[in-house]
Structure 1
Amino acid sequence: MQNSAECNHRQLSSVPVDLPRTIEELQLNYNHITTLTDDSLIAYPSLKTLSVACNDLEKIEPTAFQQSHLLASLNLANNNLHVGYQESSTALKTLQSLKALDLSENKLDEEMAAILLQNLTSVEYLNLSGNLMQRLDDNILSHLYQLKELDLQRNVLFEIDNAFHSNPKLQRLNLAFNYLPCLTDFHMTQLVVLNASYNFIDWFISRQDVNETFQLETLDLSHNNMLFFPFLPSRSHLQNLYLSYNRLSFYEHLADSAMSTNVSTTVEFYNLRNHTANVSAQLWVEDLHGDLSSLRILDLRANRVSYLPQGFIQKMPLLSRLKMCINCLEILNFTSERFSESLYELDVSKNRLTQVEADEDSLIALSNLTYFNLSQNHLKMLPARLFVSLSSLTSVDLSFNSIDVCLSEPADHFSHCVVWKDVLSLKKLFLKGCNIKIVPNSAFSGMTLTHLELSSNPGINTQNSIQMLRRTLQHLGLGNTQIQNVDFSQFKMLKFLNISNNSLSRIPRSLSQISLKSLDMRDNQISTIPSDQADALATSLNTVYLTGNPFNCCQTEWFRTFEMQKTMYIVEKSDIECVDLFHRKHIVESLDPLFCFVERESIFWYILLFVPICVSLLGISIIVLLTLKPKLLEKSIKKKCLKSTSY
């Protein structure tokens, strides 16, 4: 910007006075300014944006902004305004055009904040994050009638008492990283985004008697202590609901056992403000979910969900992304759930799935599903036509399930294996750790896979089957498969290759003929890399993994070649080790280039010193022996040389 002055990191203790009078933006961040005096800004009447963040600012004198009638944005973050907050408050009141104010990280408590914010009726954006506020009441923000966005994250808030009653235009509210125990009587119908993640919330309850439609589109309650699905507004525009990392579950299946043991089946909520009736809810009557008709993203990761209530998914006709990894699901039933046609991402990895049920109609309805993650479950059988029927499927992850690759078309509805060659839309296939031994030669015929992960299938035979993908494959994982000799020369599109943990004694020569970008060859038995191969790899590789190999300390020229290539990143370079002639380990990076010469020279001198000593000791031993026992030689000679005669 032509009318901008950037004076950051200048060791300034005051506002410069020699800048052009016409500047509209002034940056004074990372200096040592402690006070904005009454005449600090008088020379810059056109100022619209001022940033004094990350200084030692303790106070603003009362008339510091007397000529700053146009100032609309003021950044005072990361200072010490808690020291002179009363004087600073007087100065802030004079800013009639102020729209954005940043008071974050100033060690302010709620009383200080209330004084600083008095009569700031024009402010639309306010940042109070990183302060020391514990409780919000209706006085602190009472004059901020135009407030649209408020950031209160990273305080120590544990109570909010009708704090936003005077902010009818507030649309975005950030309460993350505080100590709130619950959010009840939620009735902010104008709010569009609410972030209450990283608190200690165990209940979220919307007021059920509000006739007006809530404008809420995004609600983030992740990383809390919620046991129950939130009581959402009965009418809303909610599109994104984030509930990950709670303790949430559904309890309909407990109804029968509760009734037989006289356990209460209801929970009652009291003290929900004077104008709200008490709520009594049946915990397993799943009709308190609220309006989910506009929901597009539902994030339930890392909870305790063991099943989905009947009709729950059908309430979300626009659902496009369902994330349910790290839960307790045992059955995934497409037939009964009737997922939306809008669904394109489904992640049910890291559950306890033993069964997937689906009929033809339910699978046809999922014509837009592109990403399907079933990894790390307990699956041993799947519907035979499960993946073939998903016409838009581009990515499947079945890793760490006991599902094989079929040798022929399965005859039964459920099968222990999958036929992949008919899933023509598939681009990414992950079959890591599936105990696969044989992949038929025609397993991937007709496919255009770009990613194939077969690692952690020890003894798998893939040589002929993966050749079918030589024209399209870009990522290939063959780590821990006991491969010995694979020809990669035809894989011209291959960019990422994992051959780690395979006991390889050398890198396949064919890798020099393709333009790899990333190569993982950790935990093998490689002692060196020939210079011509190192030169070829260095020109193409961007990332290489080498740790866990017994490299020869006297054959590390390849390391210097890689190190000199500035475009190559050697992962964990300082952990790459080599072994010397005495089987001692050294760090290759810190190895002296003359190390091997010194080693050989030292060995030569050891030998040179050792031989004379041995000869000397032998001679001394013979002399001593003959001296002490002179007759021994005579007897020895007679025994070996004298022979008896016949006369």
Structure 2
Amino acid sequence: LWWICLMWGWANVASQNHQCPPHHDITPCICTVKKNGLDVLCEFTDQQHISHTMSVLKGSSEVIFYLKLRHNTLPKLQDFVFLGLDIRHLTIHNSSLAVVEVSSLSSLGKELTQLDLSQNGLISVPSTAFRNLHHLLILNLNHNRITAIHNKDFEGLDTLEILTLYENMISTVESDAFKGLDNSYFSPVHKAIFLTLPTSALSSLDMLKKLEIQENRISDIKEGDFKGLESLDSLILGHNHLKEIPARVFSHLTLLNSLELDGNQIAHIDPEAFVGLEENLQYLRLGDNNIHSIPSNALRRLHRLRHLDLRSNNISSIPEDAFTGFGDTITFLNLQKNDIKVIPSLAFDNLNSLENLNLQNNKLSYIPEEIMDPIVDTLRSIDIMDNPLVCDCSLRWYRVWLQNLRDKDDDVMIKKRTLCMMKSEHREYKVQELPLERMQCVGKNLEQTSNSDT
């Protein structure tokens, strides 16, 4: 025990060794002591006050673990402004920054690991200022006015792992723009203005794990577009203008675990669209598209698929063999906001592992017990709200299932207000509160229900 106390004592002494300058010397900036150094915040001030605060800090020889310059008037980051300072995390956010002079960051090359220049007025990547940041791990250039990424813009950033350029106006990415970013795990091209995939630039990122290219204007992808991205684990192509998924388009992405294609205009998925994804794909999002039937032929090769999202499409029916060949691994199935009127009796027979089923907001009047029998024992959550359900014995299973939730998602399910219509009365009832005798269960059906309740 003594050595634990001793170690705690050393850590406590170490944190107490850090000391902020007197408040009146750096006002309107604020300094607090953290375990790893100082945390300095300057907000709603100008270049003159910030420069003065930097001068005061230079005399302290302290580690500045966080330097946060937010909501300031700082149009230009001047040369050598941080000379003599040991800064680990630097944020210049929403401060009208438009110019980063060549030597403004050069003195921080040995220690700086995170740099956030988001929500400013940069129109290009200040590449010459970044060149000496050899220990930088995270670079955030979100919400600027950058229109193009040029060759060698990130040269020298050999340790960079996360680069983000969201919400810029990027329309051009040169072929060697990302060359040298061998350690990058996250991609920078979400919410640019791409009309086509910048394939030549991306192909050099052979260690990339996550590619986010959603909310662009990409209307076409083809086989070979993802060549060179063999390490990719997650691909997000949501909210583009894709109308079809052609054959073998993802064939190089054999390690892909998650694929998001929601929010496009997809109407056709080729039977060989997911060739290459057989061994690792577990999460597939196809919601908010124009799909008219479950793309079973394309899905059958995905024998490790666990999460399938087909919400908000135009699916009107579920064939009996819709999930044959791949359904036994699926734990999450979302079919809400479609146009499904009838579910055939064998439709869910292959969904042996299903835990979450969403059928909300379709056109289902009846969901008979024989349809649900294969999955009712594994289900933890089911949503059948906002359907024109008829109050009769076909809903008996749902009432019994709710009563036997046990370790399932009780609170979530109990709060759901699932209604059915009693045709003879032209009145709606909560299914979970409807008495059995009102559900028109007679003979053997009623007897089975009563046994289930006891």
| TM bin (shorter chain) | 0.7 to 0.9
- The reply to whether residue 146 of structure 1 matches residue 159 of structure 2 is yes
Match of 1:337 among 305, 308, 323: 323
Q: One-letter code of the match for 1:176?
A: H
Matched ranges for 1:154-169 at <5 A: 154-162=167-175, 163-169=177-183
Q: Residue 599 of structure 1 aligns with which residue? A: none
CA distance, structure 2, for counterparts of residue 200 and residue 7 of structure 1: 52
Q: Residue 214 of structure 2 aligns with which residue? A: 197
- The reply to whether residue 375 of structure 1 matches residue 360 of structure 2 is yes
Asked whether the 8 Å contact 1:405–1:418 carries over to 2, the reply is no
What is the CA deviation profile of residues 300-333 of structure 1, one whole-angstrom value per residue up to 9, with x for unaligned ones? 2210011233432223223222221110112223
CA distance, structure 2, for counterparts of residue 464 and residue 198 of structure 1: 41
- The reply to whether residue 304 of structure 1 matches residue 290 of structure 2 is yes
Q: Residue 239 of structure 2 aligns with which residue? A: 223
Q: By how many angstroms is 1:419 displaced? A: 4.1
User: Which SS does the other structure have where 1:420 is aligned?
Assistant: helix
Q: Which has the larger radius of gyration?
A: 1
Query: 1:189/1:52 Cα in 2 relative to 1: closer, same or farther (>3 Å)?
Result: same
Query: Structure 1: which 5+ runs fail to align?
Result: 252-283, 408-415, 439-456, 469-647
CA distance, structure 2, for counterparts of residue 316 and residue 34 of structure 1: 57
CA distance, structure 2, for counterparts of residue 385 and residue 422 of structure 1: 14
CA distance, structure 1, for counterparts of residue 106 and residue 90 of structure 2: 13
Query: 1:425/1:248 Cα in 2 relative to 1: closer, same or farther (>3 Å)?
Result: farther
CA distance, structure 2, for counterparts of residue 209 and residue 156 of structure 1: 23
After TM superposition, the score normalised by the length of structure 1 is: 0.55
Asked whether the 8 Å contact 1:171–1:193 carries over to 2, the reply is yes
Matched ranges for 1:395-434 at <5 A: 395-407=381-393, 419-420=397-398, 423=401, 425-426=404-405, 428=413, 432=418, 434=420
Q: Residue 568 of structure 1 aligns with which residue? A: none
- The reply to whether residue 172 of structure 1 matches residue 186 of structure 2 is yes
CA distance, structure 2, for counterparts of residue 14 and residue 335 of structure 1: 68
Matched ranges for 1:73-88 at <5 A: 73-83=89-99, 85-86=100-101
Q: Higher relative contact order at CA 8 Å, sep ≥6: structure 1 or structure 2? A: 2
User: Which SS does the other structure have where 1:333 is aligned?
Assistant: coil
What is the CA deviation profile of residues 605-646 of structure 1, one whole-angstrom value per residue up to 9, with x for unaligned ones? xxxxxxxxxxxxxxxxxxxxxxxxxxxxxxxxxxxxxxxxxx
CA distance, structure 2, for counterparts of residue 109 and residue 6 of structure 1: 36
Q: Residue 9 of structure 2 aligns with which residue? A: none
What is the CA deviation profile of residues 140-185 of structure 1, one whole-angstrom value per residue up to 9, with x for unaligned ones? 1122111110110011111222221121111112432221112153
Q: One-letter code of the match for 2:353?
A: N
User: Which SS does the other structure have where 1:386 is aligned?
Assistant: helix
How many pairs does the alignment contain? 399
Query: 1:353/1:194 Cα in 2 relative to 1: closer, same or farther (>3 Å)?
Result: same
For the aligned residues, what is the CA RMSD?
A: 3.6
Q: One-letter code of the match for 1:63?
A: F
Match of 2:106 among 56, 70, 93: 93
Q: By how many angstroms is 1:396 displaced? A: 2.5
What is the CA deviation profile of residues 66-117 of structure 1, one whole-angstrom value per residue up to 9, with x for unaligned ones? 322x42211112223314x22xx3020121221111111220011x522332
Match of 1:237 among 255, 275, 280: 255
User: Which SS does the other structure have where 1:172 is aligned?
Assistant: coil
Q: One-letter code of the match for 1:200?
A: R
After TM superposition, the score normalised by the length of structure 2 is: 0.76
Q: By how many angstroms is 1:431 displaced? A: 6.8
User: Which SS does the other structure have where 1:198 is aligned?
Assistant: coil
What is the CA deviation profile of residues 476-535 of structure 1, one whole-angstrom value per residue up to 9, with x for unaligned ones? xxxxxxxxxxxxxxxxxxxxxxxxxxxxxxxxxxxxxxxxxxxxxxxxxxxxxxxxxxxx
Matched ranges for 1:320-331 at <5 A: 320-331=306-317
Query: Structure 2: which 5+ runs fail to align?
Result: 1-14, 437-454
Q: By how many angstroms is 1:23 displaced? A: 8.3
Q: By how many angstroms is 1:241 displaced? A: 1.9
Q: Residue 135 of structure 1 aligns with which residue? A: 148
- The reply to whether residue 315 of structure 1 matches residue 301 of structure 2 is yes
Q: Residue 123 of structure 2 aligns with which residue? A: 109
Q: Residue 73 of structure 2 aligns with which residue? A: 56
CA distance, structure 2, for counterparts of residue 244 and residue 294 of structure 1: 20
Q: Residue 516 of structure 1 aligns with which residue? A: none
CA distance, structure 2, for counterparts of residue 74 and residue 460 of structure 1: 59
Q: By how many angstroms is 1:128 displaced? A: 0.5
Q: Residue 577 of structure 1 aligns with which residue? A: none
Query: 1:33/1:7 Cα in 2 relative to 1: closer, same or farther (>3 Å)?
Result: farther
Match of 2:135 among 117, 122, 129: 122
Q: By how many angstroms is 1:34 displaced? A: 0.8
Deviation larger for 124-133 or 181-190: 181-190
CA distance, structure 1, for counterparts of residue 430 and residue 28 of structure 2: 71
Asked whether the 8 Å contact 1:437–1:461 carries over to 2, the reply is no
Q: By how many angstroms is 1:380 displaced? A: 4.1
Query: 1:76/1:368 Cα in 2 relative to 1: closer, same or farther (>3 Å)?
Result: same
Asked whether the 8 Å contact 1:42–1:67 carries over to 2, the reply is yes
- The reply to whether residue 43 of structure 1 matches residue 21 of structure 2 is no
CA distance, structure 2, for counterparts of residue 181 and residue 7 of structure 1: 54
User: Which SS does the other structure have where 1:28 is aligned?
Assistant: strand
Matched ranges for 1:507-518 at <5 A: none
Q: By how many angstroms is 1:385 displaced? A: 1.0
Q: By how many angstroms is 1:60 displaced? A: 4.0
Match of 2:333 among 322, 346, 352: 346
CA distance, structure 1, for counterparts of residue 214 and residue 432 of structure 2: 50
Identity of aligned residues (%): 19
User: Which SS does the other structure have where 1:74 is aligned?
Assistant: strand
Query: 1:462/1:171 Cα in 2 relative to 1: closer, same or farther (>3 Å)?
Result: closer
